[in-house]
Structures are given as C-alpha cells and as structure tokens.
Structure 1
C-alpha cells in the first residue's frame, strides 16, 4: 500500500499484479510529500519493534485497513486505485514464483496440475505468507459489506495504459513505468497449463474475483 497525502492517492498493492512496478514508479512522488519523513520514521520504528506498534501499513494491506485507520474525511477524498490480474494467469505466476523462490516447498510437486490441487485442497491448511495469491483479490478492495472502495481498477493485462490513466487521475505526468520481477520460465499463454477440470476448480475458488473484475478464462 502506498499513501501520498500531498498527491492525495492511495495505491492498494495486490501481489503479482504489477504492483512492484507501480510502487517503484510512483515512489519519487512520495519522496516529495512533506509527510514522508514522518512516514519513514514510523516505518523504521515499526520495523525495530517487530511491527508491534501498529503504525505502518504493510506492503500488501487490504483497503479496509486504510478505511479503519485513516480519518473518514481523509480516506473519502483520496483517489484509491488498484491493479488486478486474471485469476487463471495469476495462479500460473504463483506456480513459477514458488518453484523459483521457495523450491523446498515444491519438492513433492512436478506439475502445475499437482500444484493447484495441493494449493486448493480444503483439507490442507495453506500458509498465507507462503503465497498471497491463495487469497481473493477482491478482498483487497471491498469493505465488510462487500462494497468496492477503490475508484479505479487497472489491469495487469493493460498495465502501461492503465498506469497512465491512474497518473492522469492523480494529476501528474506519468513517469516511466519500471518493470520488476518478470518471470522468464513460463509458457506465454496461461491457458496451456489448464485442463477443463482444473480451470473449473480455479473458477469456483476465485468466483468473487471473476464476478467483480469481469475476467474470463478465454479473453474476448
């Protein structure tokens, strides 16, 4: 999550949706914010306390955290935006990320099919810190009543153009969009990883994301 009081925006960062690129590209704006030194100090104090002080938004905070912690008049006037990603594509990204970054967790898994069945097994507790993409993306943008709280939902599939639109709404000239963490070890088309059965399993688990964001397995 990235908050700028000077530029009046709140960016909700969902993992593996291009958010690192967006954060790094907008960071210079944050450095110009008069409140940045205070935010930086709070961040350091939070880290030194083991994040027990409750004075910092974690990188992947849900928007409900900002709504609860910020004054209502501040939260309501912020331009709030997020980037989301096709759930079927996101799971392919998750597979390659864990295989690359945490191979010890994949010692018993060889294929994407095995990975998803292991991941979605209701009998096996899944650890959030291992892979945030088990969570619904929609949970990051709704309140406790299911109301969408963001003003703009950009798409990973249209990252550059939607980033420019977000900057336009913030009221700044779009900086160069930095590209981070691009995987090179996957097939280009996520659909090639799926059987019909596996695609349906993902559709059931991530149904709220598909409904709220309007994604389909086969893009139009």
Structure 2
C-alpha cells in the first residue's frame, strides 16, 4: 500500500497485478512530499512502541486497514485505486514467480496443474507467499460491510492506459512504467496451462472475483 499526503492518493497493491511496476513508477513522488520525513519518523517510533499508526501500511495491506486506521474525513478525501487481473492468468503468473524466486514453496509440485491443486487445497498449511496470491482480489477492495471503497479499479490487461488515467487524476505527468518482475519463461496465453477441470477449479475458488470484476476464462 502506498499513501501520498501531498498528492492525496492511496494505492492498494494486490499481488501479481502489475503493482510492483506501479509502485516503482510512483515511488519517486515521496521525495517531493514534505510529509514523507515526519511520516517515516512516526512509523519508526510506532514500530518501537508497538502502537501501530497508519503512516506506513504493509505492502499488500487491504483497503479496510487504511479505512479503520485513518481519520474518516482524511480517508474519504484520498483518491483510492488498485489494479486487478484475470484470476486464471494471475495463477499462472504466480506459479512462475514462485518457481523462479522461491522454489522451496512449490511443495515438490513442479507441474502447474499439480501445484494449483495443492495450492488451493484447504488442508494445506498456511504459507504467506502462496496464500497472498490466492486471497480474493475483491477482499482488498471492500470495507467491513462488503462495500467497494476504492475509487478506481485498473486492469492489468490495460495497465499502461489505466495508469495514465490515474496519473491524470492525481495531477502528475505519467512517469515511465517499468516492466518489473516480468516473467520470460511462461507461455503468453494462460489458457494453454489449463485443462477443463483445473479451469473449473479456479472458476469455483475465485467465483466472487470473477463475478464482481467481470472476468472470464476466454479472455
């Protein structure tokens, strides 16, 4: 999550949706923000005291954390945005990311279909790097009553265009959007990774995301 008091925005970073590129492009704004330095100090002191303040929220925090910690008027005044991704494509991206950077979390399942079944098995012990990528994307967008409280939902599938829209909204020139953590070892079309049963497994597990965000397997 990235909060900018000067530019009045809150970026909710959902894993594997292009958020690392968005964060990298916007990160430089913090050096122009006079609030950054006192926020940094408050974050350090709150960490030491054990009394957590919303000056620095975790990288993949959900929007509800900011809503509950920030003053209501201030939260409401922020331009809040996030990016989402087709759930079938996201799981392929997650598989390659884990296989490339954290192969110890594959659980001995080097085949995508086997890994997916194991990953979505409710009997599997919790592991952060696996479970972050199967948390429903809509969980990051809603408050405690289930209402969507972000102002803009960008799409990974049109990342550059939606990022440009966001930059216009917050009043900055659109910076270069780097291709951070882009996989080079995967097929371009995610559909080639799936059989009918594994595609249905994702459809059932991510049913709310698919319905609320309007995604489908065919693109």
TM-score normalized with structure 1 length: 0.93
Matches within 5 A, 1:23-172: 23-45=23-45, 49=48, 52-55=50-53, 56-106=56-106, 108-172=108-172
Q: Please, which moves more after superposition, 115-124 or 34-43? A: 34-43
- Please give the alpha-carbon distance, in whole angstroms, between the structure 1 residues aligned to 2:109 and 2:163: 36
Partner Cα distance (2:25, 2:42) in 1: 22
User: What SS does the aligned partner of 2:90 have?
Assistant: helix
The Cα offsets for residues 171-191 of structure 1, whole Å up to 9 and x where unpaired, read as 211111122111111111000
Aligned-pair CA distance for 1:43: 4.0
Say which is worse superposed, 199-208 or 38-47, in terms of deviation: 38-47
Q: Distance in 1 between matches of 2:200 and 2:206?
A: 10
- State whether residues 128 and 134 of structure 1, in contact with CA within 8 Å, keep that contact through their aligned partners in structure 2: no
Map 1:170-209 → 2, pairs under 5 A: 170-209=170-209
Q: Is the 8 A contact 2:119 2:130 kept in 1?
A: no
User: Structure 1 residue 136: deviation in Å?
Assistant: 0.5
Aligned CA distance change for structure 1 residues 217 and 130 (closer, same or farther; 3 Å): closer
Cα distance, 1:133 vs structure 2: 0.6
Question: 1:112 offset after TM fit, Å?
Answer: 0.6
Give the gaps of 5 or more residues in structure 2: none
Cα distance in 2 for residues equivalent to 1:45 and 1:101: 33
Distance 1:165 1:202 in 2: 30
Structure 1 contact 25–175 (Cα < 8 Å) conserved: yes
Q: Secondary structure at the match of 2:158?
A: helix
Q: Which segments of structure 1 move beyond 6 Å, counting only runs of 4 or more?
A: none
Using the TM superposition, give the Cα deviation of residue 44 of structure 1 relative to its aligned residue in structure 2, in angstroms: 4.0
User: Contact conserved, 1:63 with 1:140, CA < 8 A, in 2?
Assistant: yes
Per mean C-alpha deviation after superposition, the further-off stretch among 102-111 and 117-126 is 102-111
Secondary structure of the residue aligned to 1:3 is strand
Q: How many residues align?
A: 217
C-alpha RMSD over aligned residues: 1.6
2:2 is aligned to: 2
Q: For 1:158 and 1:52, how far apart are their aligned partners in 2?
A: 40
How far has the Cα of 1:10 moved from its partner?
0.5
Do the aligned residues in 1 keep the contact of 2:9 with 2:170 (CA within 8 Å)? yes
**Is the CA contact 1:94–1:131 (under 8 Å) kept in the aligned structure 2?**
no
Cα–Cα, structure 1 residues 151 and 34, in superposed 2: closer, same or farther, change >3 Å? same
For residues 128 and 87 of structure 1, what CA distance do their matches in structure 2 show? Answer: 18
Conserved 8 A contact 2:92-2:193? yes
Unaligned ranges ≥5, structure 1 = none
